[in-house]
C-alpha cells in the first residue's frame, strides 16, 4: 500500500509539474498573441494612413497630368497627309478658315502637332488622330466652343471632330455622367460638367454641384416625385452619339 501511495504521489507530482509547464507556455503564448495583435493593429493603422496618402498623391498626379494636357486638342477624321510635312503651319492657316474664326487668322499659335504613333492605316480605315498643342488655353476654349456650336463639321467629305486631351481616368469620370446629362436634357434642366468632372445643375432656382452621377440622378428623381411629376420612361430618353456627348461634356 505504501508503495502504491508513493507511486500515486509521484504521478500527481508529475501531473502538477506538467500543468505548471503548460501554464507557463500558455502565458507565453498569450503574451506573444497580445504583442502580435498590437503589431497588427499598428500595421492596419499605418496601411490605412498610407492608402489615404496614395489616394491624395494619385489625385495630385492626375491633376498634374491633366494640367499638362490642358492646351492640347485631338483632331479626329482629318484625311491622311493633308497637313503635309509641316502640320503646325497647316493648322495655323487651316483652322481659322475651317471654323470661321477670322479673328484668329495670322494670330493662332500652335506649339507642336503630330499624328498618333501607330502604323499608317489603309485607305478604307479611319485616319490617324492628329494631336496638337496650342500656346494659349483661351484659344483651345474658342476652338472647342466654335466646333460645338457649328454642328457637324466636314472636310473633303469627311466628318471632323475636335476633342480635348485628358487622362483616361478623367475621361471615364466624365463619361459616367452621360445618363444624368440625358435626363437633364429631356427635362430641360440647365446643367454643365465642370473640371474635373463636377456636375452642376440649376434645379428650380437652386445651383447644385455633384461629384457622383448617381447622387445627381437620385436628387432630380426625388425632387420631381415630391412635386408629383413623372419622369419620362427611360426608353424614351434621347441618346446622343458618344463623340458629340464627350465634346459637349467638356464644352458645357
- The per-residue DSSP string of 58-100 comes to HHHHHHHHHHHTTTEEEEESPPTTTTTT-HHHHHHHHHHHHTT
The grid cell for 148 is 460645338
Averaged confidence pLDDT in the chain: 85
pLDDT exceeds 50 at position 240: no
Average pLDDT over every residue of 199-219? 89
In percent, the amount of the chain with pLDDT more than 70 equals 86
Collapse the DSSP code of 76 into the 3-class scheme (helix H, G, I; strand E, B; otherwise coil) and give the result.
Answer: strand
Least confident of 28-32, 160-164, 221-225, 245-249: 245-249
Collapse the DSSP code of 105 into the 3-class scheme (helix H, G, I; strand E, B; otherwise coil) and give the result.
Answer: coil
The grid cell for 83 is 497637313
The grid cell for 111 is 506649339
Collapse the DSSP code of 164 into the 3-class scheme (helix H, G, I; strand E, B; otherwise coil) and give the result.
Answer: strand
Residues ≥6 apart with Cβ < 8 Å to 169: 62
pTM score of the predicted model = 0.62
pLDDT exceeds 70 at position 2: no
pLDDT exceeds 70 at position 232: no
Average pLDDT over every residue of 35-44? 94
Q: How far apart are the C-alpha atoms of 186 and 237, rounded to whole Å? A: 7
CA 242: distance to chain centroid?
A: 16
Amino acid at each position: 500500500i505504501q508503495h502504491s501511495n508513493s507511486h500515486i504521489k509521484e504521478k500527481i507530482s508529475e501531473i502538477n509539474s506538467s500543468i505548471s509547464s503548460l501554464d507557463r507556455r500558455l502565458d507565453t503564448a498569450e503574451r506573444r498573441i497580445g504583442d502580435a495583435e498590437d503589431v497588427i493593429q499598428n500595421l492596419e493603422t499605418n496601411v490605412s494612413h498610407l492608402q489615404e496618402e496614395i489616394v491624395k498623391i494619385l489625385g495630385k498626379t492626375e491633376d498634374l497630368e491633366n494640367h499638362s494636357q490642358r492646351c492640347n486638342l485631338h483632331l479626329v477624321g482629318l484625311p491622311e497627309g493633308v497637313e503635309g510635312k509641316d502640320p503646325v503651319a497647316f493648322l495655323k492657316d487651316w483652322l481659322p478658315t475651317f471654323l470661321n474664326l477670322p479673328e484668329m487668322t495670322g494670330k493662332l499659335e500652335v506649339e507642336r502637332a503630330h499624328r498618333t504613333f501607330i502604323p499608317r492605316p489603309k485607305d478604307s480605315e479611319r485616319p490617324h488622330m492628329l494631336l496638337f498643342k496650342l500656346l494659349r488655353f483661351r484659344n483651345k476654349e474658342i476652338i472647342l466652343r466654335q466646333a460645338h456650336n457649328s454642328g457637324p463639321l466636314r472636310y473633303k467629305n469627311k466628318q471632323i471632330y475636335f476633342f480635348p486631351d485628358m487622362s483616361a481616368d478623367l475621361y471615364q469620370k466624365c463619361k459616367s455622367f452621360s445618363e444624368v446629362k440625358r435626363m437633364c436634357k429631356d427635362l430641360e434642366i440647365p446643367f454643365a460638367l465642370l473640371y474635373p468632372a463636377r456636375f452642376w445643375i440649376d434645379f428650380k432656382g437652386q445651383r447644385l454641384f455633384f461629384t457622383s452621377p448617381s447622387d445627381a440622378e437620385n436628387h432630380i428623381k426625388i425632387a420631381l416625385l415630391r412635386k408629383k411629376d413623372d419622369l419620362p420612361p427611360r426608353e424614351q430618353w434621347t441618346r446622343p452619339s458618344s463623340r458629340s456627348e464627350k465634346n459637349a461634356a467638356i464644352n458645357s
